[in-house]
Chains A and B, each alone.
Chain A
Amino acid sequence: MLFSGRRKKFGTSIQTELYVQPLQFYGQPPLENISLSEFETFAVDRLKLLKTVENLGVSYVKQSEQYSKKLDSELKTLNFPYRSEVDDRKLPGGPSESEKRRKDHISHFILRLAYCQTEDLRRWFIQQEVDLFRYRFNGLLSKQKLEFLHKNNLQYDAISLKEKKELKEKLVSSTYAISGITVEDQDFYKVPFQDALDLVRTRKVYLKEGYAYIPHQDIVTIVLNDFRTRLSKALALTARSLPAVHSDERLQPLLNHLSHAYLGQDYSIQKNVGKISLEQIDSLSGKSFPLCMRQLHQALRENHHLRHGGRMQYGLFLKGIGLSLEQALQFWRSEFIRGKVDGDKFDKAYAYSIRHMFGKEGKRTDYTPYSCMKVILSNPPSQGDYHGCPFRHSDPELLKQKLQVFKVSPSGIVQIMELVKGMHYQLACQKYFELTHNVEDTPFSLSHPNQYFSESQKLLGGGGGGKELKREVDASQRSQENSSSRGFSAAQEAADSEHEAEMTKDLNAFFEDV
């Protein structure tokens, strides 16, 4: 570890001050210089941590026992602070608590650099950091929580007993786990509804004239809201200082790799362009499309139309499996004009958005096919929509019927429905894959509809695209097998090759304006 002498004079005292508390708001950037290799380990470890947070959030109910157990063990293996009551005691050989807190602090700031660059990255980073923060805040003892609020100047107004009595019935029926008896012993805080959006969204709080009445047990929501707002502001500011980072040729590749790692493989780079003909799509959709895409394809063929959400999800998937822009235009056009849209209207109203998907219009960003996570978590289907993930968004009864139609055995259906019930949608989909491809224990873990497709093609001997398609699929399979570490190892290489020597990075320099 290498500290530069430059900031030492006031560095140390602030540092120790910073790590007194088990949890912080990350208001202060680190003031020390660190070696590039530590820089890299910290970044990679935090990224692993955040990816775990993301995965657990999909597979388990947040804050459930299993969620906590898994997250705890990840925090422990990666040497992040994981149990708040532990003070600065040191396990033999392991890092001390304050070293862990230091790692928590510095690694957070490194990832800010990597994840401030685009809207998508920011959103992902904020989401995971907020979930992590929630978990850690909830793990604090109530004394520590109060200390935390106090330290960070978070003060909220509690309502009077009189008001509480008046609103008693409303408060009880807006708040889970609070009965009439406990209302009077509980503090309720009255805050503008904008400060408690998570509770408002889920209707878990009483709202009156623009104010949310938050029971003490839910105070984490306001704290989180605060955290989220601060973080998103800070990221916007960091993004502005980005030119400095961009011009740093040692840091730039490293940060880029870090930021690419979050999606695992992204299927935006078209490898198989033109390997698939339009005539093959019908048969491929039965054999190798995951259910979500099969459903979209069917709906499109039947209605000769798909609404926006469906066009995006399916269109990008098709792009990912190798349709060229010309093919895509032809494909959508020929289907739409069989419905209510005539050729003219298609060219005017829809062609644009298809060109857009291929980055040929508008901001010219090349859109990436949606991952399962994105399909499952964002933009749920509503009336008239066919997009989304059938394992997540279909009624269990309908899903069952559909599986029957697709000839899944009754015992298979039971297994799938069990997984769905436990909210393991991707595992359910993977089970469906195994059952329909007659394999046991697939060697991959499903995270992307396009991955489903390429895995299927691989098993079926690349029926769609002949040899070459197969080879490409192999290549992507290999990178997939490195689990999610494609980005990490690339980052490793970048760091290793260029900087074996102990180079130092003055982190604070990038946050000076913040």
Chain B
Amino acid sequence: MPSSDYDSACLPDLLPLYYRRLFPFYQYYRWLTYGGVQKNYFQNREFCFTLKDDIYVRYQSFSTLNELEKEMQKMNPYKIDIGAVYSHRPNQHNTVKSGSFQALEKELVFDIDMTDYDDVRSCCSAADICTKCWTLMTIAIRILDRALREDFGFQHLLWVYSGRRGVHCWVCDEAARKLSAAARSAVAEYLSLIKGGEDTVKKVVLTDPIHPFIRESLAVVEHFFPQYALQDQDILARKESVDKVLALVPDDVKKELQQDFQNEKKSDVRWKLIKDQARKKQSTAKKGQHFDKEIMLQYCYPRLDVNVSKGVSHLLKSPFSVHPKTGRVSVPIDLRELDSFDPFAVPTISLICEELDRPKTGEEEEKVEDATEKEDERDASEKRRIRGHNCEDIFADHLITKEPVWQSM
């Protein structure tokens, strides 16, 4: 896999090159100025740089594109975070009267991190991800993207790979940027179905009537569940994982199912047994019995870090920042090609820097006989495609041309 070419010890050597020749400053600046409609929108924005040895430099701000570029090329941050738009220039926050320096606006953001799914994935844990569990991110994006657009009426959504084990969403609509902290947390809670910590076994409880938002989300989960949960994760195969699933159904049903499972080993048939039980219960019980749906949601529904979304001044890793551990660039994700998005194909900083140095290859040169080199070439062009397409076009498509205020310019 391409990440093996990255060695974090090289980061200090690669970053200057990255910021000098690759970072898309212009698009980045255009995004954060939002057409220049509001005065000082870019100038009052906080940036936070993380330097070598985890030194955080908060309250950075820049008055022009040029200044941003110069400063980044001077500091060569390991990581860049974006904060709020403040009432004053963040780099002068010490000089304004205390209390009057206030965070005014920020994109509404969401952070989904694979570590929060550790209780429901068996393929990896903690910071590790694989193509199997990546499906969880695909599901999360599908569900949230739909709800943010259709339920909340937002249109300018930027989805970004975090560079390691998750995704971020930046909702850039003007209305979203102006939301109060209370409104942000209400949106985040509306979107949260998984409740409870280490001490909660059953994390999803549905009650009648089932809200249209949950129905829509269930439709997404149902689409992925058979392949992802029943096959890839095989949640109904091993004893422990079966027990975990059965802990989510009522006791009487559990006993019956345990018996049935003794004669039936196939995951999909076992799942059908669970669904049949749920249907049976539903026709008899008067109160809602939705344990089949609850299981699906508990295993697949997105887990949001509500605290990140709540605060106006909360920092979030910037798009195009490099992840210092993996070396991968935080690239925007094109939703039209979401199902084929592969985090392991996202270029690392070493790879794209290396590409820069390589002499330009013409079309015909792709026919080099050497098999390994051919492999390399394919890889490289693949990466260029991802970089070229995602980074620049997406910024252009989603944030610039479609924002109505910019169309009128």
Question: Residues of A with Cβ closer than 8 Å to B?
Answer: 170, 172-174, 176, 193-194, 197-198, 200-203, 206-211, 295, 299, 345, 348-349, 380-388, 390, 393-395, 397-399
Contacts and interface: CB of A to CB of B under 8 A. Distances in A.
A206 B183 contact: no
Contacts of A209: 150-153
Nearest to B306: A382
A153 B118 CA distance: 52
B362 interface: no
Contacts of B214: 203
B211 A203 contact: yes
B405 to A, nearest CB: 18
A349 to B, nearest CB: 7
Nearest to B179: A194
Given A173-B211, A200-B186, A349-B54, A207 B196 contact: no
A383 B119 contact: yes
Interface in B167-189: 175, 179-180, 182-183, 185-187, 189
Given A197-B183, A382-B306, A395 B200 contact: yes
A387 B187 CA distance: 24
A308 to B, nearest CB: 8
A388 B198 CA distance: 11
B197 A393 contact: yes
Given A201-B186, A384-B116, A211 B153 contact: yes
A232 to B, nearest CB: 9
Given A203-B190, A203-B211, A207-B151, A395 B197 contact: no
**Of B200, B201, B306, most A-chain CB atoms within 10 Å:** B200
B212 A383 contact: no
Interface string B295-321: 000000001011000000000000000
Contacts of B197: 380-388, 393
A394 B202 CA distance: 10
B115 interface: yes
A207 B213 contact: yes
Contacts of B154: 210
B369 interface: no
A383 B116 contact: yes
A201 B151 contact: no
Nearest to B126: A340
Contacts of A193: 152, 183
A393 B190 contact: no
29 contacts: A173-B209, A173-B210, A174-B209, A174-B211, A194-B183, A197-B186, A198-B186, A201-B189, A207-B151, A207-B190, A208-B150, A210-B152, A211-B153, A348-B53, A348-B54, A349-B54, A380-B197, A382-B303, A382-B306, A383-B194, A383-B303, A384-B115, A385-B198, A386-B197, A386-B198, A394-B200, A395-B196, A395-B199, A398-B201
Contact of A201 (B190, B195, B305): B190
Contact of B212 (A173, A211, A390): A173
A380 B201 CA distance: 15
A193 B215 CA distance: 20
Given A174-B212, A203-B211, A395 B201 contact: yes
A330 B151 CA distance: 50
A211 B150 CA distance: 10
A271 to B, nearest CB: 31
Interface in B206-231: 209-215
Contacts of B215: 173
A202 B186 CA distance: 8
Contacts of A385: 197-198
Given A382-B306, A383-B116, A384-B115, A393 B200 contact: yes
Contacts of A397: 201
A381 B153 contact: no
Contacts of B53: 348
Contacts of B209: 172-174, 176
Given A193-B152, A383-B197, A206 B179 contact: no
B349 to A, nearest CB: 23
Contacts of B153: 208-211
Nearest to B215: A173
A210 to B, nearest CB: 3
B17 to A, nearest CB: 28
Interface in B266-309: 303, 305-306
B325 to A, nearest CB: 14
B175 A210 contact: yes
Contacts of B116: 382-384
Nearest to A203: B211
Contacts of A345: 54
A339 to B, nearest CB: 13
Contacts of A380: 195-197
Contact of B198 (A176, A211, A383): A383
Nearest to A382: B197
**Of B115, B185, B187, B305, most A-chain CB atoms within 10 Å:** B187
Nearest to A240: B99
A170 B151 CA distance: 12
Contacts of B190: 200-201, 203, 207
A183 to B, nearest CB: 12
A197 B200 contact: no
Nearest to A345: B54
A102 B268 CA distance: 69
Closest A-B pairs by Cβ, 4 of them: A210-B153, A381-B197, A209-B153, A173-B209
A381 B196 contact: yes
Given A210-B153, A211-B153, A382 B196 contact: yes
B184 to A, nearest CB: 10
Nearest to B176: A210
A29 to B, nearest CB: 24
B78 to A, nearest CB: 14
Nearest to B178: A194
A348 B182 CA distance: 32
Contacts of B306: 382
Interface string B65-107: 0000000000000000000000000000000000000000000
A207 B152 contact: yes
A383 B118 contact: yes
Nearest to B113: A383
A393 B195 CA distance: 10
A110 to B, nearest CB: 24
A311 to B, nearest CB: 14
A147 B377 CA distance: 76
Contact of B202 (A198, A211, A395): A395
A200 B118 CA distance: 29
Nearest to B189: A201
B185 A201 contact: yes
Contacts of B196: 380-382, 393, 395
